[in-house]
Amino acid sequence: MTRIRIAKTLWGALAIIIAIAWVFPVYWMVNSSMLPTSTLESFTPTFLPFGGSLDNFAAALADGDFYSALGMSVAVTLITVFFCLLFAFFAAVAISRFRFRGRKSFIIAVLLVQMLPAEGLFIAQYKMMASVGLLNSVIGVSIIYIAAVVPFTIWMLRGFVAGIPADLEEAAMVDGLSRTQAFLRITFPLLAPGLVASGVYAFLQAWNEFTVALVLLPAESAQTLPLWLRGFVQASATRATDWGQVMAASTLVAVPVIIFFLIVQGRLTSGLVSGAVKG
């Protein structure tokens, strides 16, 4: 027995060492964001943020472009989340509550197109938006985001809609509620967790997206947060980088994402490998 216990302790120690190594970059971002440039310039790294301050955050926030990038990101993200949920909800109801010709082809098509990489499409998307004057506009980039995110949102919501028995709604209608009332009072509350999970997924995609934004938003005034953040790294090629400020900027972009991500993580995994985990 003792040999097994020793082995278990050793494995446990290994797991903790790996955990520390894995989380280190995230820790390092926060640590560096609080240290002054003079400390970061030293050849010996400082591993704990003692004597740190929030000066780097103040400096990053003082960058005038931050607020325009924040506004742009918020606008694009809100539009994407709203229309994704709306369109995906309709489609999810269609494929889980109705049997019709072309249903299976639609599901296959949805699963296939969600895999199409932006790298294989951005040249055409650029030409398309340029020809209708939607470069550097919230609308242009949002259209592409909705199209890119809606397939997986449909797939995710489908499971939730299918999980709500249609009898429930019908029973409520027998009890005298109208179809709309039955939907709003019975189905909608049951669906809320699914809408939240899908909405957060759409939020993460739109908030983090870099490739399409780079192509469709070439003007500096139209940058989203990821492009703003990249600007810091680009600048580092020509002049000495203020790493403390870059890390503060990265932390500002990452924190809302990390919080929202932790909310939906479980749903995300099960959506991507749905069914296969049942064993």
Partner 1 sequence: MKRIPQALLLPALLILLVGLGYPVGWQLVTSLQEYGLAQQFGRPAPFVGFANYLELASDPTLWAVVIRSIVFCVVTATLTLVVGMALALLMMAVGRIPRLILQIALLLAWAMPVVAAMTVWIWLFDRRRGVINYLLDLIPGVDMNRFNWLEQPSTFFIVASIIVIWMSVPFVAFSAYAGLTQVSEEVLEAAQLDGASGWQRLKNVILPMIRPVIMIVFLLQLIWDLRVFTQITMLQDAGSKSGAFDLLGTYIYKLGTRAQDFGMASAVSILVLAITIALSWFYVRSLMKEEEA
Q: Site size for partner 1, by CB under 8 A?
A: 102
Q: How many residues does the chain have?
A: 279
- Residues 41-60 binding partner 1 (CB under 8 A) are 41-45
Amino acid at 223: Q
- Residues 201-220 binding partner 1 (CB under 8 A) are 207-208, 210-211, 214-215
How far apart are CB 195 and partner 1 at their closest, in Å?
Answer: 16
Taking CB under 8 A as the binding criterion, the range among 9-17, 57-65, 181-189, 191-199 that sits at the site for partner 1 is 9-17
Q: Which of 6, 18, 139, 171 binds partner 1 (CB under 8 A)?
A: 18
Relative orientation angle of helices 55-62 and 64-97, to the nearest 10 degrees: 80
Under 8 Å between Cβ of 77 and 203: yes
Return the SS3 of 99: coil
- Residues 230-269 binding partner 1 (CB under 8 A) are 230, 232-234, 236-237, 243, 246-247, 249-251, 253-254, 257-258, 261-262, 265, 269
Q: Does residue 118 belong to the site contacting partner 1 (CB under 8 A)? A: yes
> Tokens 């971002």 sit at which residue?
29
| Cβ neighbourhood burial of 55 (10 Å; 0-12, 13-18, 19+) | middle
Nearer to partner 1, 124 or 175 (CB): 124
How far apart are CB 99 and partner 1 at their closest, in Å?
Answer: 8
Site string for partner 1, 76-115 (x = CB under 8 A): -------x--xxx-xx-xxx-xx-x--xx-xxx--xxx-x
Q: Does residue 4 belong to the site contacting partner 1 (CB under 8 A)? A: no
Under 8 Å between Cβ of 257 and 204: yes
| Cβ neighbourhood burial of 224 (10 Å; 0-12, 13-18, 19+) | buried
Two tokens, residue 246: 């870059």
Kind and range of the H or E run holding 53: none
Q: Which of 6, 54, 58, 116 binds partner 1 (CB under 8 A)?
A: 116
**What are the residues whose beta carbons fall under 8 Å from the beta carbon of 105, sequence distance 6 or more?**
none
Q: What angle do CA 200, 79, 194 make, to 5 degrees?
A: 30
Query: How far apart, in whole angstroms, are the C-alpha atoms of residue 259 and residue 264?
Result: 10
- Residues 126-165 binding partner 1 (CB under 8 A) are 126-128, 143-144, 146-148, 150-151, 154
How far apart are CB 147 and partner 1 at their closest, in Å?
Answer: 2
Under 8 Å between Cβ of 157 and 97: no
Taking CB under 8 A as the binding criterion, the range among 57-65, 66-74, 122-130, 174-182 that sits at the site for partner 1 is 122-130
Q: Which of 197, 200, 206, 229 binds partner 1 (CB under 8 A)?
A: 229
Q: Which of 58, 168, 192, 272 binds partner 1 (CB under 8 A)?
A: 272
Taking CB under 8 A as the binding criterion, the range among 25-33, 58-66, 172-180, 186-194 that sits at the site for partner 1 is 25-33
- Residues 162-201 binding partner 1 (CB under 8 A) are none
Two tokens, residue 82: 């709203």
